[in-house]
Amino acid sequence: MAASKKIAVIGGDGIGPEVIEQAVRVADAAVSRHDRVSLEWQRLPWSSAFYKQTGKMMPDDGWDLLQQHDAILLGAIGSPEVPDHVTLHGLLLPLRRRFDLYLNLRPAYLFEGVQSPLRDKAPGSIDMLVYRENTEGEYAPIGGRLYVGAPSEIAVQTAVFTRRGCERVMRAAFEGARQRRRKVTSITKSNAQQFGMVLWDEVFKDVARNYPDVQTHSLLIDAAAMDFVRKPESFDVVVASNLFGDILTDLSAIITGSMGLAASGNINPERAFPSMFEPVHGSAPDIAGKGIANPLAAMLSAGMLLDHLGLGKSARAIRNAVAAVLKAGKPRTPDLGGNATTTAVTDAVLTFL
């Protein structure tokens, strides 16, 4: 009897469930062909709709339930019907912290057959891997509001940078760079933020000393935004704080063709908790329910999940099948200039698998 892997599936809102179900189909097909295990999917209806019914984003035993799984596959959270700060602080953001998923790995690769909005970019010429810090920084929920609604109203939002928090994501980035082109760019804003970002820079220098074989650069976030457009091929591994990594990875997604192609993993490298995999994109309310969302980012995220669980053959098979569909030029969803549906694209991926 083959072993099984237990995966919690949170489709979430909008296009989340639409793309995640396609990723599940593709992962099942890949694993049944290439690895001797079975995947046990447990679907959890946690979402904004769940919130509207229950007043919570997840049941009280939700964390325990999630912890019984080997990994989590998530679609997207966020609905125009419930404020974002309520839904995201009820599930996605606490999940990243609670399970200490301190690495947010976000690869961006220009696949053959995909047109970058940047002129004359050859396939593979954009190939970067962003290590986004995922548990502190500008996302630390520390702060408050005072005199709400009054002319004297005050809001304080604190950014938290710890030596340990900076160091662990940076070490991981350097280790990752050794498997790639041995180049790490740190993203900073220490010219304006003289506490947190100066600590960030100092820790980067300290960590870099242990990796003399890796080339390092430090770039201010504003200049980095420019260089992602001007010369994206100059980036290999990028290490960034929570907010800067968030912003730069929508940019890295679009220069490689679409939000619908950007995958990510929220990783606890110590494996004390299940890691969580999700496309970089959100719930896309503008196209939700139309059956035209690009499912490839979700599939590539499922591929990262399988890789994390040691199912490397299946992971490679998914990536190769996605690459083959993109190279073929069709079918493709409207975000990539086509007119195919979500399921037609999945069917094509399954054919290549």
Assess whether 147 carries a catalytic annotation: yes
The reply on whether position 246 binds ligand IPM by CB under 6 A is yes
Per partner kind, with CB cut-offs from 5 to 8 A, the member of ligand NAD, ligand IPM, Mn ion, none near residue 325 is none
The reply on whether position 107 binds ligand NAD by CB under 6 A is no
- CB of 240: closest distance to ligand NAD in angstroms? 16
**How many residues belong to the chain?**
353
Q: Count residues contacting ligand NAD (CB under 6 A)?
A: 22
Q: Considering only the stretches 48-56, 87-95, 163-171, 201-209, report the one whose residues sit in contact with ligand IPM under the rule CB under 6 A.
A: 87-95
Among 294, 301, 314, 346, binds ligand NAD (CB under 6 A): 294
Q: Count residues contacting ligand IPM (CB under 6 A)?
A: 7
The reply on whether position 47 binds ligand NAD by CB under 6 A is no
Among 11, 62, 78, 137, binds ligand NAD (CB under 6 A): 78
- CB of 266: closest distance to Mn ion in angstroms? 12
HEC profile of the chain: CCEEEEEEEEEECCHHHHHHHHHHHHHHHHHHHHCCEEEEEEEECCCHHHHHHHCCCCCCCHHHHHHCCCEEEEEECCECCECHHHHHCCCHHHHHHHCCCCEEEEEEECCCCCCCCCCCCCCCCCEEEEEEECCCECCCCCEEEECCCCCCCEEEECCECCHHHHHHHHHHHHHHHHCCCCEEEEEECCCCCCCHHHHHHHHHHHHHHCCCCCEEEEEEHHHHHHHHHHCHHHCCEEEECHHHHHHHHHHHHHHCCCHHHCEEEEECCCCCCCEEEEECCCCCCCCCCCCCCCCHHHHHHHHHHHHHCCCHHHHHHHHHHHHHHHHHCCCCCHHHCCCCCHHHHHHHHHHHC
- For residues 90-117, one letter each, b for 16 or more C-beta atoms within 10 angstroms of the residue's C-beta and e for the rest, the string is bbbbbbbeebbbbbbbbbbbbbebbebe
Q: Considering only the stretches 35-43, 74-82, 124-132, 215-223, report the one whose residues sit in contact with ligand NAD under the rule CB under 6 A.
A: 74-82
Q: Considering only the stretches 117-125, 174-182, 224-232, 286-294, report the one whose residues sit in contact with ligand NAD under the rule CB under 6 A.
A: 286-294
Among 21, 236, 246, 278, binds Mn ion (CB under 5 A): 246
Assess whether 222 carries a catalytic annotation: yes
Q: Considering only the stretches 96-104, 134-142, 150-158, 282-290, report the one whose residues sit in contact with ligand NAD under the rule CB under 6 A.
A: 282-290
Task: Please identify, using beta-carbon distances, which residue of 188 and 242 lies nearer to Mn ion.
Answer: 242
Assess whether 127 carries a catalytic annotation: no
Per partner kind, with CB cut-offs from 5 to 8 A, the member of ligand IPM, Mn ion, ligand NAD, none near residue 284 is ligand NAD
Contacts with ligand IPM, residue ranges (CB under 6 A): 78, 88, 92-93, 246, 280, 282
| Catalytic annotation, residues | 147, 189, 222, 246, 250
Contacts with ligand NAD, residue ranges (CB under 6 A): 15, 19, 76-78, 84, 92, 259-260, 278, 281-287, 293-294, 297, 333, 335
